[in-house]
């Protein structure tokens, strides 16, 4: 296949994503215009991400109860972690044992087949469920994910501009906590559901500011 024809194929695929119908006219136009673009198959899209030192917040997490820490992150007193800035996640609601995250859906989250990558579903739900567990912990206690199971039930695209990940604690023991999660659209459409098991432990600040297990 020639380079010009290959370019036209990708251009038409992009137009299909915008829900336009392919036609002989658009195909011929692609053949005549794609080669004129200076670089790549189409003009680049760009996204700028900024963040603050994550180890500052990690150290503060051990000095505060989980509930107070998460509320401080939500109101901006403590900087949100870099992964939240990278993906566009925000904490929208916090109650003891229940945390809701919001996610703005964009093309930067897409996989190669034109929808949001399944790893984004897992990351959002892992965050919501893990923070639900964290909201139950006193100062000096920490957690980490032991097991995560996600069921993807519906594809997600920019046709749904925003979704929420809801995490809720099922059981909170001294050593092990479990939680469930749901990823839903603005009208309650279910896109995924999940469960997690977390290890809970006494912690201290390790060199560099991260939590380490002490018992």
pLDDT tens, 112-162? Answer: 999 999 999 999 999 999 999 999 999 999 999 999 999 999 999 999 999
| Per-residue pLDDT at 36 | 52
**Distance from C-alpha of 83 to C-alpha of 123, rounded to nearest angstrom:** 9
| Per-residue pLDDT at 44 | 87
Please tell me the pTM assigned to this model.
Answer: 0.77
Is the model's pLDDT at 26 over the cut of 50? no
* DSSP letters spanning 36-91: GSSSSSSPPP--------HHHHHHHHTTS-HHHHHHHHHTTSSPPPHHHHHHTEEE
């Amino acid at each position: 296949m020639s380079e010009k024809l290959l370019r036209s194929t990708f251009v038409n695929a992009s137009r299909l994503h915008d829900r336009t119908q392919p036609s002989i006219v658009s195909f011929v136009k692609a053949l005549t215009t794609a080669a004129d673009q200076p670089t790549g198959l189409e003009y680049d899209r760009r996204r700028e991400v900024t963040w603050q030192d994550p180890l500052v917040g990690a150290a503060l997490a051990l000095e505060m109860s989980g509930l107070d820490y998460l509320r401080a992150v939500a109101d901006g007193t403590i900087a949100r972690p870099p992964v939240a800035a990278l993906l566009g996640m925000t904490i929208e609601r916090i109650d003891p044992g229940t945390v809701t995250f919001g996610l703005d859906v964009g093309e930067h989250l897409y996989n190669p087949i034109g929808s949001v990558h399944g790893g984004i579903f897992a990351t959002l739900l892992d965050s919501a469920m893990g923070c639900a567990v964290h909201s139950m912990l006193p100062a000096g206690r920490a957690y980490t994910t032991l097991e995560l199971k996600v069921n993807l039930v519906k594809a997600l695209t920019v046709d749904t501009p925003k979704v929420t990940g809801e995490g809720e604690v099922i059981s909170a023991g001294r050593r092990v906590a479990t939680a469930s999660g749901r990823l839903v659209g603005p009208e309650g459409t279910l896109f995924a559901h999940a469960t997690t098991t977390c290890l809970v432990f006494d912690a201290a600040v390790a060199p560099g500011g991260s939590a380490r297990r002490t018992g």
